[in-house]
């Protein structure tokens, strides 16, 4: 299984790793500097995990009211206290650990 370090390092490659979920793909595109592509991926996925990544993306861009909406859709009552970079890692680690 892929570790968080492997996932972070994969963003240096031209293509995302195969076999990852839509929410992880969204995180991958964000890490690779492609916010719009990341947003497109999670917006088209109706899962709670995609809503969580969607919330993170809007929080990162500074659209806090939109982020609050998506945190609610993800079943999370509010944005985390951690900074967005740490939140990215927390989400990625959570999603990666579920695959083990």
Which tokens go with 24?
């992880």
Four-CA torsion 91, 93, 95, 99, nearest 10 degrees: 180
**Number of domains composing the chain:** 1
48: domain range? 4-9+20-98
Domain annotation covers residue 36: yes
Longest dimension (CA), the chain: 36
Residues 100, 81: Cα–Cα separation, whole Å: 27
Judge whether residue 1 has pLDDT over 80: no
Label residue 99 by pLDDT band (50, 70, 90): low
- pTM of the prediction? 0.91
Per residue in 37-79, pLDDT (tens digit) is 999 999 999 999 999 999 999 999 999 999 999 999 999 977 8
Domain annotation covers residue 88: yes
Domain annotation covers residue 14: no
Judge whether residue 100 has pLDDT over 70: no
Domain annotation covers residue 15: no
């Amino acid at each position: 299984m892929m570790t968080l370090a492997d996932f972070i390092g994969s963003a240096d490659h031209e293509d995302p790793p195969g076999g990852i979920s839509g929410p992880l793909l969204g995180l991958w595109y964000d890490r690779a500097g492609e916010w719009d592509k990341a947003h497109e991926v999670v917006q088209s996925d109706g899962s709670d995990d995609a809503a969580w990544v969607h919330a993170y993306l809007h929080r990162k861009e500074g659209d806090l009211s939109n982020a609050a909406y998506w945190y609610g859709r993800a079943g999370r009552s509010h944005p985390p206290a951690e900074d967005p970079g740490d939140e990215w890692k927390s989400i990625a680690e959570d999603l990666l650990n579920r695959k083990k």
